Each structure stands twice: as C-alpha cells, then as structure tokens.
Amino acid sequence: MLKEKNGDVAPIRAAVANEDGIDFTLIELFFFAYRDFTSDPDQMLADYGFGRAHHRVLHFVNRRPGLTVAELLDVLKITKQSLARVLKQLIDTDHIVQLQGPRDRRQRELYPTARGRELALALSRPQSRRIDGALTEMEGGSRKAIEQFLKAMVNPELRAQIDADPLHRMEENQE
Amino acid sequence: MLKEKNGDVAPIRAAVANEDGIDFTLIELFFFAYRDFTSDPDQMLADYGFGRAHHRVLHFVNRRPGLTVAELLDVLKITKQSLARVLKQLIDTDHIVQLQGPRDRRQRELYPTARGRELALALSRPQSRRIDGALTEMEGGSRKAIEQFLKAMVNPELRAQIDADPLHRMEENQE
DNA sequence: CAGAATACGTCAATAGTGCTGACTTAATTG
DNA sequence: CAATTAAGTCAGCACTATTGACGTATTCTG
C-alpha cells in the first residue's frame, strides 16, 4: 500500500474557463510574459557562466550603489548562504567591489565596477526594448498605468518600501 | 595567477538612472510583481510536496484537457526529462490521468481528475485575487490594456499561438 | 569594560527545477 | 518491413534556493 490511490481518477474533459471568478487568461499571460522577459538576459549570462541570480544582484547593486549585504538580502528575499556564491563570483570577476562601511566597519558596501555597470546595462537593454515595444503595441493604456498595475501586484510591505524609495518617487515627475 | 583581476575595480558611486534609455523602474517592478504573484501558490504547493513546476503542469492540463505530452512540452518549453518527474508525481497522486490517444495510440492525453481540478482552482484563486486587486487600484488603465501589454511582452511565435487559441480569442467578447 | 548583539563569511547537506545524452518500447507511416 | 514518432526512463550535471551550525570582527549596552 505504497500509493494512496483513492480510485477517483475520472478524467474531466471540460476546460476551466474564466468562470469560477478566476482570470486564467491573465495568469497565463503573466507567466508567458515573465518567462520571455527573462530569456534574453539568461542567454547572455550563460556566456559568463552566470545565472539569473547574478543578474539580480548586479541589477540592485547598480540601482543602489553602496548597498550593504544585509540590505541586498532584504530586497532579494533570499538567505545569506544563497547570496554568498553568487556575490563571490561577481566580486572575483571584478563586476562588484566591496568597501568597508564608513560608519559601521562590519558592513560591506557593494558597488559596481565599470565592468559591472556595463554588464548590467547590457543585460537590461533587451528587457527594456521588449517593454518599450509592448507599451507601444498596447492600445488604451499608458506606461503609467502599467507601472501602477505592477506596483499594485507587489505585496503591501514591499510596496511601502518602493514608494519610500527616491528611485521610484522620481517616476512621478516623468512621463 | 588563478584569478584574472584586471585591476580596474574602482567603485562607481552613482546609481543607474532610467537614463541610458533603459526603463529600470519597470524592469524592477516586473521582477517584484512576478515574485509576489508566484509566492501564494508556492506556499500552498509546499503542503503537497510540490513545487512551481507542478502548478504549471496542472494549470495547462486544466486549461486544455486532452493535451498530449508533446503539446505540454511545447507550451512549457522544457525537456521531456524535466517534465517526467513532475508529471509522474501528479499522476501518482491522482491529480492527473493519462488516456491513450484515440487516433494515435502512442499519444497520452492528459486530463485533470476532480482532485486536480480543485487544486488548480485553489492555487489560482489568490493569484486572481491579486490581479483583480491590482486592476482596481490602477488608475487610467483597463484590464484589456494589461492583457494587451502582457501579450505584447511575449515572443512573437508564441503570441501567434496564443492568438490562435480559442481560450484567448474568447477574451475579445468579454469585458 | 565585559558580555551581548550584529554584520558578514563559510562549511555541509538537501531540495527543486532545469539541462544533455543515450536508450527502450510501442505505434504509426511510408 | 524499415523508418519515424510518442512516450518513458536512466545517469549525470548545473543552478538556485533552503536549513543549521559555526567563526570573526565590530559595535552596542548595561
């Protein structure tokens, strides 16, 4: 009696529709969109022996130079052990440098090097092009609407942090 | 001379802005949004000893009952070997059943069981709630705009398939 | 100032998801 | 009947993530 087959294995032949109050269409599109969105940088990263995690670290270090390790862990929401290898590789390959924190010398401030900046830009370029293209193709919507939608998809706690972030507050001024 | 440190490790202290023609804001928001979007089902799946891959298989089998294994591999864009473990577990736990293809007996048509249908609905419910909430919070945009944007983010080949899919063509009629 | 707490780094083991390559079986096609 | 196709499976590997434990340097606190 290894498997607990309860016997009720009658096939359901009807497709789930967007009935049941569930928007399967958007759920599915969100999956496809994100998968293709990450595919361009993923391919480039392979040339460096890097993975998606390296991209994320590189992204946030470029967005917020001087980030401490603890702060980086907090935005990525991964553990110190998960970050360790990835960060070490980026440091060993001169994409990121660590500086001792000026106030608290236990802290390590993370900065991109010129190489790290270039790679971050190169990885983001196809993603930004894809977004720009999609914004153009879209009718009856604006970049602002997309930004609001995506921000509203984020958990409230993080959303509060994003709103407090000057990098995102600047958005209010641009169109 | 193990590492090839070229020595140019000067820290760059300026944050990348949305200059350089790259929309870092939306890139970042897309990452946060997708991560939180997947977090709800991920937590539920843990109770079953399942992962995100199980959810995807379950989703598409419920969306298109009678899918063959080859068709499933095509939408997921993973290899047969990657699918094998996940699919086997879903079959062993009576979430999915395989029926021999009526025309071609080599094919295995995949159908959800009642249990599989229920789980798919349960997993999608929080995702749909999140989407609905975000659509409501968003000003100056419509569900239609979001659908168009997400579809435009998808690679052209797949986009063509999606447009040919009756499940998505039905969208044109609803508002 | 001594002890607790914090920031970071690291070791070891494990899980989930993906990959490549190779091979088998059964069924269909030419 | 031979070739191809659909599916399943075996072995090995890579990447990202996890938990738990421990060491070191530094700062904070009573």
The SS3 assignment for B20 reads: coil
On whether the CB atoms of residues B16 and A117 are closer than 8 A, the answer is yes
Name the residue with tokens 């032949």.
A13
The SS3 assignment for A139 reads: coil
Q: CA-nearest residue of chain A to B162?
A: A29
Q: How far is A151 from chain B (nearest CA, A)?
A: 6
Strand D lies under 7 A from the Cβ of residue A77: yes
Q: How many CB pairs under 8 A join A and B?
A: 270
Q: How many CB atoms lie within 10 A of CB B137?
A: 13
A73 touches chain B (CB under 8 A): no
Which two three-digit tokens encode residue A102?
Answer: 């000026």
Q: What pLDDT score does B2 carry? A: 36
In chain B, which residues from 122 to 161 place their CB closer than 7 Å to nucleic acid strand D? none
Name the residue with tokens 């001379």.
B1
Nearest to A24 by CA among A35, A32, A12: A32
Taking every pair of Cα atoms in chain B, the longest distance, rounded to a whole number of angstroms, is: 66
What is the C-alpha separation between B45 and A26, in angstroms, rounded? 20
Nearest to B61 by CA among B115, B111, B1: B111
Q: Is the pLDDT of residue B61 over 60?
A: yes
Q: What pLDDT score does A98 carry? A: 97
What pTM was computed for the model?
0.92
On whether the CB atoms of residues B126 and B37 are closer than 8 A, the answer is no
What is the C-alpha separation between B175 and B169, in angstroms, rounded? 13
What is the C-alpha separation between A153 and A169, in angstroms, rounded? 17
> What are the tens digits of pLDDT across the range A84-132?
999 999 999 999 999 999 999 999 999 999 999 999 999 999 999 999 9
What is the C-alpha separation between B42 and B31, in angstroms, rounded? 16
**Rg of chain B taking only CA atoms, in angstroms:** 21
Which positions 95-114 of A are in contact with B (Cβ < 8 Å)?
97, 99, 111-114
Residue B30 or A140, more confident: B30
Q: Is A94 in contact with B6 (Cβ distance < 8 A)?
A: yes
B9, B66, B130 ranked by CB distance to A97: nearest: B9
User: Percent of chain A scored above 70 by pLDDT?
Assistant: 92
Q: Which residues contact B74 (CB under 8 A, 6 or more apart)?
A: none
> What are the tens digits of pLDDT across the range A36-87?
999 999 999 999 999 999 999 999 999 999 999 999 999 999 999 999 999 9
Q: CA-nearest residue of chain B to A32?
A: B154
> What are the tens digits of pLDDT across the range B79-138?
999 999 999 999 999 999 999 999 999 999 999 999 999 999 999 999 999 999 999 999
Nearest to A143 by CA among A131, A135, A153: A135
The DSSP bridge partners found for residue A97 are A111
Nearest to B52 by CA among B86, B79, B75: B86
